[in-house]
Structure 1
Amino acid sequence: MGKDNNPRVDDDNTFRAFVNALYNTIDAPVTYFREKIVEPNQKKYPWYHQKYRRVPTIDQCYDDDVVCDFEANQQFKRDRAVDSEILGILRQRYEDCMIYEHPDHATACVPLWKKYKESEEAWFIKYGDLGAYGDARKAYMKQKHRMIWERRHGSLSSLTG
């Protein structure tokens, strides 16, 4: 090892020493800037999309609070987009499993199929029949009507299963 605990072996070759000196002249400021300035100032979080703070939901807003209503609708639209993407990913995983496990896909892909169907049902319970212009208030009313119906008639799952 060299004098400065560098793992590179010291060489008597002057050309190689010149190239190393030139490399260190260019690399040292860049490495210093990255390690001392860029990396300490980076946000470190384990997700890859922007994480918004949660705002009050539509049932927590006053009737005349337009800003709260707008924020709740924006959050509802983001949540709907995220849930739709998750459902799309589950569907794609199931389709990939069917292609990969072709002769035995009827048995090998059953757990993925069940997970996809459960997620699809949950998505439809929350967002189904709202249409293209569905917003947080319509979804809240849909949830309220479903709860009233289940209180009067029993759970929907007990009727279908």
Structure 2
Amino acid sequence: MGESRPNNAFADFLQTVHNVVDIPTTWFRDNVVARNRSDYNWYHRQFRRVPTIDECYTDDIVCFAEANEQYKRDKLVDSDILAILRQRQEDCIIFEKNDHRIKCRDIMQEYDKAAENWFIKHGDLGVYGDVRTAYMKQKHRLVWERRHGKVGSGMKTDMD
């Protein structure tokens, strides 16, 4: 059997108006738009990696700006990862109640290590911290560790 026909003139008119509007737009979408659209395997925007601040010349303002934007994106990603790990830790503690020190040990250690790494990279920079201050913080930490040993292990003495 074919398409069922409308029962009255008004329904027939509405069907005709629908066909006049729908058929050209559907054809255009299927034959023009869909064929020229590229398929993406992701739903969010992916930025290309740019040179880091240590790869920029001292007078290259554009390179500095790109490195700063990359640093801001990386900080947001690191902060979101830390928030997810914190939420997993809190959920495990709430679920396990009194046994959480034993059953959630791996999650808690993973969160503590991630929080330590986040603080090493982004901590104490303040609201206006940028890629240059983060780079200087990293450089100062490396100099400190070369002179005095790992941070938190106590200072080396002349006898060491």
Per the normalisation by structure 2, the TM-score is 0.73
Match of 2:40 among 39, 44, 48: 44
Distance in 1, matches of 2:36 and 2:103, equals: 46
Deviation at 1:144, TM superposition (A): 0.5
Matches within 5 A, 1:21-60: 38=34, 41-46=37-42, 48-60=43-55
Deviation at 1:107, TM superposition (A): 1.3
Secondary structure, in 3 states, of the residue corresponding to 2:97?
coil
1:85–1:35 CA distance, 2 compared to 1 (3 A): farther
Distance in 1, matches of 2:71 and 2:122, equals: 10
Distance in 2, matches of 1:66 and 1:146, equals: 26
Does residue 124 of the first structure (1) align with residue 119 of the second (2)? Answer: yes
Secondary structure, in 3 states, of the residue corresponding to 2:132?
helix
The letter for the 2-side match of 1:104 is D
Count how many residue pairs are aligned between Structure 1 and Structure 2. Answer: 138
* Partner in structure 2 of residue 87 of structure 1: 82
Distance in 1, matches of 2:30 and 2:77, equals: 34
Does residue 104 of the first structure (1) align with residue 102 of the second (2)? Answer: no
- CA displacement, residues 62-94 of structure 1 (integer Å, 9 cap, x when unaligned): 111111111111110010011001000000011
Return 5+ residue gaps in structure 2 as ranges: 5-18, 155-160
1:124–1:35 CA distance, 2 compared to 1 (3 A): farther
Match of 1:134 among 129, 134, 148: 129
Distance in 1, matches of 2:30 and 2:107, equals: 43
Q: Percent identity?
A: 51
Distance in 1, matches of 2:109 and 2:52, equals: 30
Coordinate RMSD, CA, aligned:
2.8
Return 5+ residue gaps in structure 1 as ranges: 1-13, 20-24
Per the normalisation by structure 1, the TM-score is 0.72
Stretches of 4+ moved more than 6 A in 1? none
